[in-house]
Structure 1
Amino acid sequence: MKVEPLRLNPGDDLRGALEALARTGFVVAGIGSLSHAQLRFAGEPQSTRIEGPLEILTLSGSLTPAGAHLHASLSDASGRVLGGHVCAGCEVRTTAELLVAPLPPGSLTRTFDAATGFAELVILNP
């Protein structure tokens, strides 16, 4: 498997920067720090803002030109850990170091799934 390292800089929006790549693939690992985060917790319709500083303990997900699906676990200055769906508004504090496994263009997309109510992954060329 080919993987590509990526570093995001202070002030970058974690999700926005990954979506701006318009790349097809998977984020297989991610660490770093955030000034604040926007996470959507399981079963909740809206995201929650979490004030930092925060450490990114884990980050993974799928990337398609139609959007990203990312999950993260974060710890605060007291060591408490929260995790959930990464939304826009996760601002990099010092760095975010990511490992991305690209796939061929056109192999994945996202389309609305009436059963789940979300844009779900569709595998086009397995």
Structure 2
Amino acid sequence: MQTYALRLHPHQDLKRELDTFARTHDLEAACVLTCVGSLRRAVLRFANQSEASELEGKFEIVSLTGTLSKYGSHYHISISDGEGRTWGAHLLEGCQIYTTAEIVIAALPGVSFLRELDSATGYDELYIRIHPSTYPAL
């Protein structure tokens, strides 16, 4: 496993920067190990909702988890406000960094994370391809 560390700066878009990182570094399969930081704007899709919700304010990033590759990504985020109210949802483009985001990513050798339309869900879902030369026993 190879790890990467990056820091995002004020006004950068969290999802857009992660997706760009995956393409720029030609990542076949990776995951977010950890992320701490803050947002000034959050664009989220809450569970079982078809439309995005936008939150404006100062939010701490409590957690960020997800899979990413040059083929696509899927992230979930938890954020909290100054009174401790916490939201968890699907991360969308438009989440704007307030002060920083410190992120550690792990790349998985011998694996590709692809995205394919799943007729049961209607979404592009994760399709995992294991490269036999890396894992011949599988």
| TM-score calculated relative to the size of structure 1 | 0.93
Task: Tell me if structure 1 keeps the 8 A contact 2:110–2:130.
Answer: no
Looking at structure 1, the residues matched to 122 and 69 of structure 2 have their Cα atoms a distance apart, in angstroms, of 18
- Secondary structure at the aligned position of 1:12 is classed as coil
Question: Aligned residue for 2:10?
Answer: 10
State the Cα distance separating 1:105 from its structure 2 match: 7.4
Question: Aligned residue for 2:20?
Answer: 20
Gaps of 5+ in 1: none
Q: If you compute each CA radius of gyration, which structure gives the higher value, 1 or 2?
A: 2
State the Cα distance separating 1:125 from its structure 2 match: 1.4
Task: Tell me if structure 2 keeps the 8 A contact 1:73–1:84.
Answer: yes
Amino acid at match of 2:18: L
Is 1:67 matched with 2:59? no
RMSD over aligned Cα, in angstroms?
A: 1.4
Gaps of 5+ in 2: 132-138
Aligned pairs, how many?
126
| TM-score calculated relative to the size of structure 2 | 0.85
State the Cα distance separating 1:49 from its structure 2 match: 0.2
Question: Aligned residue for 1:110?
Answer: 115
Looking at structure 1, the residues matched to 66 and 40 of structure 2 have their Cα atoms a distance apart, in angstroms, of 21
Question: Aligned residue for 2:134?
Answer: none
Q: Which runs of 4+ in 1 moved over 2 A?
A: 103-106
Looking at structure 2, the residues matched to 78 and 105 of structure 1 have their Cα atoms a distance apart, in angstroms, of 44
- Secondary structure at the aligned position of 1:124 is classed as strand
1:90 corresponds, among 81, 86, 95, to 95
Percent identity reads: 41
Looking at structure 1, the residues matched to 109 and 117 of structure 2 have their Cα atoms a distance apart, in angstroms, of 22
State the Cα distance separating 1:67 from its structure 2 match: 1.6
- Secondary structure at the aligned position of 1:107 is classed as strand
